[in-house]
Copies of this chain bind each other. A is one copy, B any other.
Amino acid sequence: MTELDYIRDGAEIYRRSFATIRAETRLEHLPTDVARVAVRMIHSCGMTDLVEDLAFSPNAVKAAREALLAGAPIYCDAEMVASGITRKRLPAGNEIRCTLNAPGVSELAQRIGNTRSAAALDLWDRVEGAVVAIGNAPTALFRLLELIADGGPRPAAILGLPVGFIGAAESKVALAENTLGLEYLVVHGRRGGSAMAVAAVNAIASEQE
């Protein structure tokens, strides 16, 4: 029987992974709770230099964690984000919502002249005090900021991690420079994605590494 040389113990793989990340990454300047989130985000993408692009409001992780503890739902812009969140880490059986493929979203998008990802926000019905995790679409993040600026409901925290070449970097700057007093965490630049958004939620949901 062929046996290649690798570690087969899942818990040991996790332990060594997080130890490697902590050994290789500059984390000293981060608050403890943010560092924990950063470690898990780095784990999801394999890049320790992610930390250089990380920006956040001082209370973002605390606010998101308290919201989850209080039973707040988690709104996601993409099914992959919703799919990746580890249910058993959630402290209050929190609801995970993605409305991208809900009936009527395509028509809604046409009506408002925006993407489906942006239109899907019109079906988010408990945003006040919720955690929002955006791991794909800059337009979803832009539209969230527009709705809040116009007096719409305010999430407890926004994990802004859209990815890509058109609008992603700009949408994260808009979030980080918001004058609405929103709690946020972003990775500036083009990097981001569903796995990173999932990692952030999973880290905030439970303090267990």
Residues of A within 8 A of B (CB): 1-4, 6-10, 13, 16-17, 20-21, 43-47, 79-80, 83-84, 109, 113-118, 138-139, 142, 145-146, 149-150, 163-168, 170-171, 174, 189-195, 198
Task: State whether A47 touches B2 (Cβ < 8 A).
Answer: no
Please give the distance in Å from A173's CB to the nearest CB on chain B. 11
Task: State whether B80 touches A150 (Cβ < 8 A).
Answer: no
Task: State whether B192 touches A46 (Cβ < 8 A).
Answer: yes
Task: State whether B167 touches A2 (Cβ < 8 A).
Answer: no
Complex contacts, A17 vs chain B, CB 8 Å: 164-166
Task: State whether A6 touches B46 (Cβ < 8 A).
Answer: no
Give 29 CB contacts A-B under 8 Å.
A1-B150, A2-B145, A3-B146, A4-B142, A4-B145, A4-B146, A4-B174, A6-B138, A6-B142, A8-B113, A8-B139, A10-B109, A10-B139, A13-B167, A16-B165, A17-B165, A20-B166, A21-B165, A45-B45, A46-B168, A46-B190, A79-B83, A80-B83, A80-B84, A80-B195, A83-B83, A83-B84, A163-B195, A194-B194
